[in-house]
Chain A
Amino acid sequence: MPEAPVPDYPRTQGVRFTAAGLRAGYVRTIPVGLGVSLFGIVFGLVAGQKGLSVLETGLMSALVFAGASQMLAMELWTSPVPVLTVAIAALVINLRYFMMNAALMPWLQPVGPLRAYGSLFFTADENWAVSVAEMRSGGRDAGFLLGSGLAIWTFWLTATLIGRTTGTIIADPERVGVDFVGTAVFTFLLVRMHQGKGDWLPWTVAGVTAVTAAEFLPGFWYLILGGLAGSIAGALRDVR
């Protein structure tokens, strides 16, 4: 049975891109940015141990701007640097963005290629999550995405530089539970996103696929497979 489309899902009509939206996105993402900072400090520390200079560490955080792949690169980092290996590893780990950012089309298409492709540079897991939640709740200002991306970018870059230069660390991040911050953010957004019984089929498919894939496959394949399987299951049900 076809399900009625979610009524408040944004149409491409009426999408704006304003400074006010950008500011709102930045401010709304600050709490998540603080969580990301803890991870950034750890990355900065590890980069220092691997012999990256302050400038190199900053360049990587500013240009690559993807925590998990940067951390993996540090694990693979030897002398001489395995250039191709770290580049391919980054590509594979970040494949999830291919699917995630496609889902931002309702916001990106109306604002023109420059703003769209510029905003996409600043899209990380955390601000994608905050922005997509805003989009789904009917937000029409695409500046929000860039603002939230800039928030994560500034926190990430600053934190990695702090970690690299000071070499200090929170006594024991695990003991105080801060390693849970990322999962907590996504759990919160998931709960707020729940719109009704129609979600259970795609969510169950996503969950079972992801947990199974995480058991048997390396890296981030579980994210890609879980996200793909769940969203396709939901779409097949709705459109059939």
Chain B
Amino acid sequence: MSVDPTTLLAILLMAAGTYGVRAGGYFLIQRLAPSPFLEAWMRHVPGAMFVALVLPAILKGGLPFAAGAIAVLLAARLKGNLILSLVLGVAAVAAARAF
């Protein structure tokens, strides 16, 4: 149960940088004059980010991830339940890998 000073310094610098980017975007956008463009941009960030998160991951994960994504997509569309969708998605990935 000890803390090495160099390790602590590394942790604190990592923490400061990470909080800096977490707070920085909000700090900046708050100071910009509100505009229709800015509002439209904010509205589109979530969807665009999710696509950017999901698509390369599925391509990298190959056939099992594609099967999992289809399972999640169908479950989300038909049932709209997160846990059910997760369970079905994970099961589809496991099944695709088993074959």
Q: Residues of A at under 8 Å CB distance from B?
A: 5-6, 9, 31-32, 35, 52-56, 59-60, 63-66, 69-70, 73, 80-81, 83-84, 86-88, 90-91, 94-106, 108-109, 116-117, 120-121, 123, 125, 129, 132-133, 136, 174-194, 199, 202-203, 205-207, 209-211, 214, 222-223, 225-236, 238-239
Contacts and interface: CB of A to CB of B under 8 A. Distances in A.
Contacts of B47: 190, 193-194, 199, 202-203, 206, 230-231, 234
A190 B82 CA distance: 12
Contact of B54 (A56, A80, A116, A190): A190
A188 B85 contact: yes
A235 B37 contact: yes
Interface of B: 1-4, 6-26, 28-30, 36-61, 64-65, 68-69, 72-73, 75-77, 80, 82-83, 85-86, 89-94, 97
B17 to A, nearest CB: 4
Contacts of A180: 61, 64-65, 68, 89-90, 93
Secondary structure of the B side of the interface? helix
A189 B52 CA distance: 13
Contact of B43 (A5, A55, A98): A5
A52 B69 CA distance: 36
Contact of A65 (B18, B58, B60): B18
Contacts of A222: 52, 56
Given A6-B43, A192-B80, 9 more contacts: A56-B3, A60-B14, A64-B15, A65-B15, A97-B18, A117-B23, A180-B90, A193-B50, A232-B44
Contacts of B52: 206-207, 209-210, 222-223, 225-227, 230
